[in-house]
Amino acid sequence: MTTDIVVSAPGKVILHGEHSVVYGKVAVASSLNLRCFVHAAISKDGDVTLDLPDVNICRKWSVASLENNLLPRLELCHDSHGHPSPPTEKSLHRLKQFAEIDTEESESRHLAIISFLYLYCYIGQRSKEQSGLPPIHVRMISQLPVGAGLGSSAAFSVCLAAVLLQLTGQATPSVHPEEQGDSNSAKGAVWKWSLDDLLLINKWAFLGEKIIHGHPSGIDNSVSTLGGAIRFQNKQITTVEKMPSIKILLTNTNVPRSTKTLVAYVKNKHDKFPEVMGPVLQAMEGLAERSIKVYGHMFDRPDKWQGYSQLEELIDINQQLLNTIGVGHSSLDRVVKLTARQALHSKLTGAGGGGCAYTLLRPDTPDEKIQAACKDLEEAGFDCWVTNVGAVGVYYHSNPDSDASLPERLLE
């Protein structure tokens, strides 16, 4: 059994199609190379520890207590396809009781504890390596802001599923030639799981997401597991086969927004003016489909410049369409304006009304321009990151001690 495991999984951004996706239109989401890192090790003290320093959570249980007081009291169900089901009402109640979490608690960081316990017990008791639950120490460090619509909880669930399945011998990574789109990986090779293993990881991660989010779409965990980009329509997720790695500037306006309120706002406009909003949503779908074609061309061809020009135009148009349906915000206008000073093109990503935006960067965009944009954005009170989309999904860091991509605090 591997005793020291480091995995990472990316966040996600919606590239095109937010809001119209609610009306059955195509959306494209992509991995975001701001990653969640999980370090798991067999613990020497025989306890199980969940250490989430980013959200101020550190919990410890003895394996004995988990085996005697929690595991026997959980109903571990599966559906007719043999897929694990989320905890029953009764199990959820017992998980919360065991973790001393209020039964009405809905904060993600607390639900993450429940998610961990459930996945740990469920996956652990299926171990192929040992009988009984393993004593492990799990520490998570994330580059993703929490609650910003960037899939931070999905990336955590994916990492958790990966380390638990690997620790228990149910999924084993192997070395792959370095994939395009992963500027952060150790040079030369990436350790990844087989597609079957990835689908298994994704299945468990989705379960984790359900515990934290209730009714997730499955986009976040799928993108985080598989990397690259996915096309999403009517709850059907398909992989975008040819997704290049694209450098972006991601900006968090830090303006809080309510996805529910924004979705309701658009619905109201759609109910009121169907003859106008219907075609607008159709335009968004056309735009999302077109972007997929452009990504394909950029993936195939070494000459990507035309692709970048087209993506810039699509980004501008999409941003205006999102303004048209009323989910813009003065903070997002600000991002557009400040980045336009450097001739860069930005759009909101996610629900809008604040939240995040991304700015396309060309491979030859001078660093000074990027730095100037970041400076302006930070002075406006926004956070920003230079990162990339279309990055590799969950992967195994085979050589953590010499891996410069890992956050310093991870191996503490």
Least CB distance to a copy of itself at residue 287 (A): 5
At residue 46, φ and ψ (nearest 5 deg) are 75, 5
CA distance 271 to 137: 51
The one among 24, 129, 236, 273 contacting a copy of itself by CB under 8 A: 273
Contact at 8 Å (CB) between 317 and 263?
A: no
Count Cβ neighbours within 10 Å for each residue of 8-30 and write b for 16 or more, e otherwise.
bbbbbbbbbbbbbbebebbbbbb
Burial class (CB in 10 A: 0-12, 13-18, 19+), 359: buried
Residues 123-143: b if buried by 16+ CB within 10 A, e if exposed:
bbeebeeeeebbbbbbbbbbb
| Residue 217-256 contact track with a copy of itself, rule CB under 8 A, x = bound | ----------------------------------------
189 lines the binding site for a copy of itself (CB under 8 A): no
From residue 314 to residue 333, the character string flagging contacts with a copy of itself as x (rule: CB under 8 A) and all else as - is x-xx--xx-xx-x-------
CB of residue 324 vs a copy of itself: minimum separation in angstroms? Answer: 4
Q: What is the smallest separation between the CB atom of 345 and a copy of itself, expressed in angstroms? A: 13
CB of 309 to a copy of itself, least distance (A): 10
Give the integer Cα–Cα distance in Å for 284 and 169.
Answer: 44
From 24, 214, 278, 366, residue interacting with a copy of itself (rule: CB under 8 A): 278
Name the nearest CA neighbour of 350 among 87, 145, 157. Answer: 145
**186: contact with a copy of itself by CB under 8 A:** no
Asked if 153 is an active-site residue, the reply is yes
Give the phi and the psi of residue 379 in degrees, each rounded to 5.
-65, -25
Q: Which of 275, 303, 367, 368 binds a copy of itself (CB under 8 A)?
A: 275
What does each C-alpha distance from 2 to 9, 240, 358, 359, 411 come to in angstroms? 19, 33, 38, 40, 16
CB of 240 to a copy of itself, least distance (A): 17
Whether residue 174 lies in the annotated active site: no
Note the residue count of the chain: 412
- The residue from 312, 313, 383, 403 that contacts a copy of itself (CB under 8 A) is 313
Task: Give the active site residue among 31, 127, 153, 346.
Answer: 153
Active-site residue list: 153, 220
By CB under 8 A, name the binding residues for a copy of itself. 269, 272-273, 275-280, 282-283, 286-287, 289-290, 310, 313-314, 316-317, 320-321, 323-324, 326
